[in-house]
Chains A and B, each alone.
With several copies, the nearest count.
Chain A
Amino acid sequence: MKGNEALAEAAIRAGCRFFFGYPITPQTELAAYMAKRMPKEGGVYLQAESEIAAINMVYGASAAGKRAMTSSSSPGISLKGEGISYMAGADLPGVIINVQRGGPGLGGIQPSQSDYFQATRATGHGDFHLIVLAPSTVQEMTDYVFRAFDLADEYRTPVMILADGMLGQMMEPVVLPEPKTEFPAKPWAVTGHKGQRTHNIVNSLHLKPERLEETNVERYQRYDRIKATEQLAEEYRVEDAEIVVVAFGASSRIVRSAVNKAREKGIKAGLIRPITLWPFPADAISAATDRAKAILTVEMNMGQMVDDVRLVVCGRVPVEFFGRAGGIIPTPAETLAVIERIAASLEGGAR
C-alpha cells in the first residue's frame, strides 16, 4: 500500500467521513483513494475548487461535529494558512495532511521537509499551534493519522501530519487498525438546536481584546497540557551515544542507516526521531544531551528543526546541522561522513 493510500484508509477507519481535497503532486493518490472509498462508506469526498475552499469545508464539517480532513502539499498548505488559523481560533478539530515537496514557490515535486517552520511555528497568522505528527514509515502514516483524529477531538485543535513525497509515494507492508466506532460527544457542534438548547456558535472573532486574550490564554493552557503529555520520540541506540543525531520523517530513515554504519566503525552514534514535531520532544532530547558530546540535526531543508534542537540543548553541547534541499534526499553515505567528521573533531578536542 502506498503511503498516501495508507493515510486515506486509516483516516476512514478513524471515522473520517468528510474529505475535501484539491489535486497536487505528490499526494494525489490520497484523494483518488478517498474518491473511490468514501461513497462506499457513506462518506463525502468532495474535490473543492481550491485548497482554500477545502480547508474552509473542513472548518464547516468540523463545526457540524464531524471528523473531517484535507490534504495537500507545500504550496497548497500555504493557501490553507488563513483557514487553519480560523480553525485554531474557533477551537475546531480536524486533520491536515502535508505531503511536502521542495520549495519555495512552485519549487519542485520531490520530497522535502522544508515546511517544518510553517507546520510548527506559523501555519497562519496569530498565536496558535498545531499538533504536528511526523511519520517515517507507511505503517506510521496509518497509525498517526488514526491518532491524529483522536488528539484533534481531545484537545479541540487542528492536527497536521507532516509527511513528504517519499513517504507518500512508497509502498511498504502495513497493518491497518480496526475501524473506530465510538466517538467523543461534541456538545459545541452546530447541528441545529432543535429548540432544546441555546444556539451554538462557532467563531473566532472577539472584538474586545480582553476577551480575545482570554481565549488565547486558555488555548495556551491547553497547549501546556499537550506539551506535558503528548511529546513523542523514538530513540535508537541513544543510551550510550556520544553523537546524537536528531532527524524526523524520511530523513530519519537515512540517519538510521548512517548510525548503524557509524556504529560499525566504532563511533557511538544514536538517533532521536521526533514523532511529534509540535509539541517538540524536548524531554527526550534534553535527556540525551546530558549524555552526549555533540548533536547533529539532519533535515531535508536548509536548517529548520535545528532551531528547536538548539533551544533544547541551550548551549550545553555543540549542535551541528546537515541538510539537503530542493527535494534531494540525503544519502546514508554523506550523512555518515558528517558523523565521522564530528567524531574526529570530538577526538581532536579531547586530546
Chain B
Amino acid sequence: MAASLNMLLAGFGGQGILFAGKLIAYAGLIEGRELSWLPSYGPEMRGGTANCSVCLSDEPIGSPLVLEPDVLVAMNQPSLDKFIDSVVPGGKVIIDSTMCQRLPERDDVDIFPVPATQLAEDNGLKGLASVILIGKLLREIGFCDPRTLDEAIVKSVPPKKAHLLPKNRKAFEIGMLNEDGESVPVCSLPEDWSVE
C-alpha cells in the first residue's frame, strides 16, 4: 500500500457517500496523516450522482480532487460505469452489488462486490450500506487501524443521533466480516500505515 492513497466514493445522493468519505478522512486525522476530503457539490447532486474524493498521505496533498483513484467505492451502476476506467492499474474497486447489476470487466484491478444495500436492509440498517462498504474496504486494504475507524465513527455520529451509533458500528462490522462470515478482529495493516 502506497504512502499516498487516493479514493473516490460515488453513488446516488442520499446513499451516505459523503458520510462514508468523512469516516475515512476522520480516521486519517486521528492517525495524524495529511488528508483531504472533497465532495462533489451543487444542484446536480439532486437526484443525480454524488461523489467525494478522499486522499490520505504522509506528505502534503496536492490536488484533493481524485481523478485517478487507487480506490473506487461505487454504490450505483452509473457511478461504476463512469469511474471504473479511471482506476489506476492495481487499484481496488468496492462495489455495492445490490445496486450494480453489471460488474466491470477490467482484470488489472481488484474487484470486491458486496451486496451492501441488501445486507443493510436484511440487518435493519437502512441507509448504512455505505458504512458496510467502508468496512469491506478497510478489510481489504487496511488503510488504518480498525480501532481508529471505530473512533472515527464515534466522533462522526452527532450527539443528537447517538442512538444511531450502534447501528453504524454494526454496519462497519458486517463489512469487516470475512468471506466465511467471521469478523476480523485485528487488521493486518501494511507497515507504513500502522499507528503507534
Instruction: Write out the residue numbers on chain A whose beta carbons fall within 8 Å of the beta carbon of B43.
Output: 25, 109, 207
Complex alpha-carbon distance, A173 and B37, angstroms: 10
Name B48-89 residues within 8 Å CB distance of A: 60-65, 67
* Contact A26-B62, Cβ < 8 Å, known A170-B36, A171-B37: no
Q: How far is the CA of A171 from the CA of B63 in the complex (A)?
A: 12
Give the size of the chain B interface in residues (CB under 8 angstroms).
20
With an 8 A cutoff between CB atoms, is A253 at the interface? yes
Task: Flag if B62 contacts A109 (CB, 8 Å).
Answer: no
**Chain A neighbourhood of B38, CB < 8 A:** 166, 169-171
A171 vs B28: C-alpha distance when bound (angstroms): 12
The CA of A339 and the CA of B22, in the complex, are separated in Å by: 34
Residue of A nearest to B48 (CB): A207
Residues of B within 8 A of A332 (CB): 62-63
| Distance A290 CA – B98 CA, assembled complex (angstroms) | 61
Given contacts A26-B42, A170-B36, A253 and B67 within 8 Å (CB-CB): no
Whether B42 pairs with A253 at a CB distance below 8 angstroms is no
Please provide the chain A residues from 183 to 204 with a CB less than 8 Å away from any CB of chain B in the complex.
none
- Within the complex, what minimum Cβ distance (angstroms) separates A204 from chain B? 16
Q: Report the bound CA distance from A1 to B82 in whole Å.
A: 29
- What's the minimum C-beta distance from B194 to chain A, rounded to whole angstroms? 20
Report A234-256 residues with CB < 8 Å from chain B CB. 253-254, 256
The answer to whether B44 has its CB under 8 Å from any CB of chain A is: yes
- Contact indicator A25/B41 (Cβ below 8 Å): yes
* Residue among B25, B34, B65 making CB contact with A171, cutoff 8 Å: B25
Q: Is the CB of A329 within 8 A of B41?
A: no
Query: Is A172 on the interface with B (CB-CB < 8 A)?
Result: yes
Q: Closest CB of chain B to A312's CB: distance in Å?
A: 25
A94 proximal to B (CB < 8 A): no
Complex contact A253–B35 (CB within 8 A): no
Alpha-carbon distance between A25 and B63 when the two chains are bound, in angstroms? 21
Nearest-Cβ distance from residue A107 to partner chain B, whole angstroms: 12
Does A279 make an interface contact (CB < 8 A)? no
Q: Interface readout for A148-173 with B: 1 if CB under 8 Å, 0 if not?
A: 00000000000000000110011111
Asked if A257 is at the interface of the complex by the 8 Å CB criterion, the answer is: yes
Flag if A166 contacts B39 (CB, 8 Å).
Answer: no
Asked if A331 lies at the interface with its beta carbon under 8 angstroms from chain B, I say yes
Assess whether B187 is interfacial by the CB under 8 Å rule: no
B29 CB-CB contact with A under 8 Å: yes
Q: A104-123 toward B: CB 8 Å interface, digit per residue (1/0)? A: 00000110000000000000
The answer to whether B41 and A165 touch across the interface, beta carbons within 8 angstroms, is yes
Closest chain B residue to A170 by CB distance?
B38
Residue of B nearest to A168 (CB): B41
Contact residues, A201-228 vs B (CB, 8 A):
207
Contacts of A165 in B (CB 8 A): 41
Q: Chain A residues near B41: list those with CB within 8 A.
A: 25-26, 109, 165, 169
Beyond A169-B38, A172-B34, A331-B67, 16 additional contacts (C-beta under 8 Å) are A25-B42, A109-B41, A110-B42, A170-B36, A171-B25, A172-B35, A172-B37, A172-B64, A207-B42, A207-B44, A253-B61, A253-B63, A258-B62, A329-B65, A331-B63, A332-B63
Q: Footprint of A on B, CB under 8 Å?
A: 22, 25, 29, 34-39, 41-44, 60-65, 67
CB pairs A–B below 8 angstroms (13 shown): A25-B42, A109-B42, A109-B43, A169-B41, A170-B37, A171-B35, A171-B37, A171-B38, A173-B35, A207-B42, A257-B62, A257-B63, A258-B62
**10 smallest beta-carbon distances between A and B, as pairs:** A257-B62, A171-B37, A170-B38, A109-B42, A253-B62, A254-B63, A170-B64, A172-B36, A256-B62, A169-B41
